[in-house]
Amino acid sequence: MDNYLVRNLDWQLDNVTSQYDELPLWSSPFGLLLLDNFPIGEYENYLDIGFGTGFPLIDISQRLGNKCKAYGIDQWKAAFNRAASKIETIKSENITLIEGDASNISLPDNYFDLITSNLGINNFENPLTVLKECKRVIKPTGTFCLTTNLTGTFSEFYQIYRDTIIELQFDKYISKLNNHINHRGTEESTKELLEKSCFTITKTIKSNYTMRFLNGSAFLNHSFTIIGFIESWRNMFDQAEKSIFFDRFEKNLNDYSKQKGELKLTIPMLYIECKKNSSN
Ligand SMILES: C[S@@+](CC[C@H](N)C(=O)[O-])C[C@H]1O[C@@H](n2cnc3c(N)ncnc32)[C@H](O)[C@@H]1O
């Protein structure tokens, strides 16, 4: 028997409440896709790549039971600290956090039965190196599952962005916009990266979700937009032209939102499951 007959997590305590407030909203739709599909088994070792503030590492480690040893690797110090405090709160003894780059994982070859990564791949500086390292540490029988957002994320927003650049005759920024949009992979480019890393794809699921805002001003000022996105948009423009662009862009977004009754943004999601090639 486990210790659940004596273990308490009092929801009135601050640390337990912050544990309850567990998952960034941005990560949740991808997380549900992952949680609905990852293969469950009696595993020895599980690894999550880019666990951020602890998702899905902490949740999956508990779903797999405490006989499975769980490991997570991430290089984001503040998030690492947050994940560590969640683990301390729930008194989990089978999770090891590694602060570092997943291009170089300090664990043996053929070690993991399951590797996951929620929203990691678009954020890795060298995705191919990370995937090759995953291939090294996964067992020949292991499964690697990842989710990612695809090119086409916020397509409505980027169409108006492009139209505004053209309207202002700021054509020199079009190639920067294209590079920015294409830093997110397509289904094909994600599969290609996995195949180049000697994985064989065994399952693919594609779906969409939407984020809704009153208008462009609400979206641009939303705290998550400021944390996660605004810097790359601001950095695209020379100082003198930045405010000219954003003044017109915000107005164009707001006109579009008024006409549609809201600003509804699409996010295409991909879940991929794969196995290590037997020939390598
Ligand atoms: C969008 S966040 C996703 C975080 C978390 N999995 C979630 O679903 O909320 C991407 C994460 O990948 C991490 N990351 C980026 N490059 C990495 C690398 N080379 N090695 C390990 N983690 C990395 C980032 O620090 C960040 O925590």
C-alpha closest to that of 183 among 223, 147, 220, 152: 152
Confidence of residue 279 (pLDDT cuts 50, 70, 90): low
CA of 81 to the centre of ligand 1 (A): 14
Round to whole Å and give the CA distance between 227 and 238: 21
Write the CATH number of the domain with boundaries 1-150+185-209+268-280: 3.40.50.150
Best residue among 124, 145, 153, 193 to mutate for probing ligand 1's pocket (most ligand atoms within 8 Å of CB) is 124
CA of 165 to the centre of ligand 1 (A): 31
- Identify the residue with better confidence: 262 or 279: 262
- Determine if the peptide bond prior to 56 is cis (ω within 30°): yes
Q: Does the Cβ of 103 fall within 6 Å of ligand 1?
A: yes
Judged against a pLDDT cut of 90, whether residue 9 lies above it is answered with no
Q: Does the Cβ of 80 fall within 6 Å of ligand 1?
A: no
What residue spans define the domains of the chain?
A: 1-150+185-209+268-280, 152-184+215-261
pLDDT of residue 147: 98
CA of 75 to the centre of ligand 1 (A): 8
pLDDT of residue 21: 75
* DSSP one-letter string for 152-201: TTTHHHHHHHHHHHHHTT-GGGHHHHHHHHHTSPPHHHHHHHHHHTTEEE
- Identify the residue with better confidence: 115 or 2: 115
- Counting from 1 in the atom list of ligand 1, the atom nearest the Cα of 76 is 25
Round to whole Å and give the CA distance between 224 and 154: 14
Which pTM value belongs to this model?
Answer: 0.94
Task: State percent of the chain over pLDDT 70.
Answer: 99
Q: Does the Cβ of 79 fall within 6 Å of ligand 1?
A: yes
C-alpha closest to that of 274 among 171, 153, 135, 67: 135
The mean per-residue pLDDT over the stretch 226-248 comes to 96
C-alpha closest to that of 45 among 27, 33, 57: 57
Judged against a pLDDT cut of 70, whether residue 1 lies above it is answered with no
Judged against a pLDDT cut of 80, whether residue 179 lies above it is answered with yes
Question: Each residue of 117-140: pLDDT tens digit?
Answer: 999 999 999 999 999 999 999 999
